[in-house]
Amino acid sequence: MKKLKPEEEVAFLKEIHGDDYGKLFGAVKESFALLQMRSQMLLGLATICLTITGFSGPKMAQSNVFSRVFIGFGLSFVLAAVAAVVVGPLRLQWITAWRADSLDETLVQNICRRDSKTRMYKVATALLLTGLTGYLLSLICYLTTVEA
């Protein structure tokens, strides 16, 4: 299997759905909806992390310098993930609000926009995982200090 370029993806969608542009645009619209749903899930995970940190963060940060550094590191990356999700995949742009010279070119441009939003989603995922790692390291430092 190979990764298709946007133009090739439109041709492939036409092989599947024929020249029914309603179905073609529907397929692209579904990919935006899936991306939106997964982005909301990332935002929910980040919110949970920030909420938990609001309750336990001060106590962890007071325990030792490593815990304090890691929680600051983790929260910074979690907030960066939230920013990446908000300015990337969750930024609204209706697929019917833009039109190129042809319907095929409009589909290509929408697929390019979807791919750009997908890249931002992947960046946000990496940022969130890095942030959660920092938070976990902070928790480990806190627990080793408390038990010592």
For 17-52, write each residue's pLDDT tens digit. 999 999 999 999 999 999 999 999 999 999 998 898
Above 60 in pLDDT, residue 148? no
Higher pLDDT, 4 or 55: 4
Q: 105 in helix, strand or coil?
A: helix
Above 80 in pLDDT, residue 94? yes
pLDDT, position 53: 84
Above 70 in pLDDT, residue 6? yes
Cβ-based neighbours of 77, under 8 Å, separated by 6 or more: 127, 128, 130, 131, 134
d(CA 28, CA 20): 13
pLDDT, position 63: 87
Q: Which residue has the tokens 């038990």?
A: 147
**pLDDT band for position 73 (50/70/90)?**
very high
What's the pTM value of the predicted model, to 2 decimals?
0.89
Mean pLDDT over residues 63-70, rounded? Answer: 92
Q: Which residue has the tokens 């890691």?
A: 70
Q: Which residue has the tokens 């993806």?
A: 9
Higher pLDDT, 63 or 127: 127
d(CA 126, CA 63): 28
Higher pLDDT, 145 or 121: 121
Instruction: Note the residue count of the chain.
Output: 148
The H or E element containing residue 55 is helix 21-63
Above 80 in pLDDT, residue 12? yes
Above 90 in pLDDT, residue 59? no
Q: How large a percentage of the chain has pLDDT more than 70? A: 98
pLDDT, position 147: 60
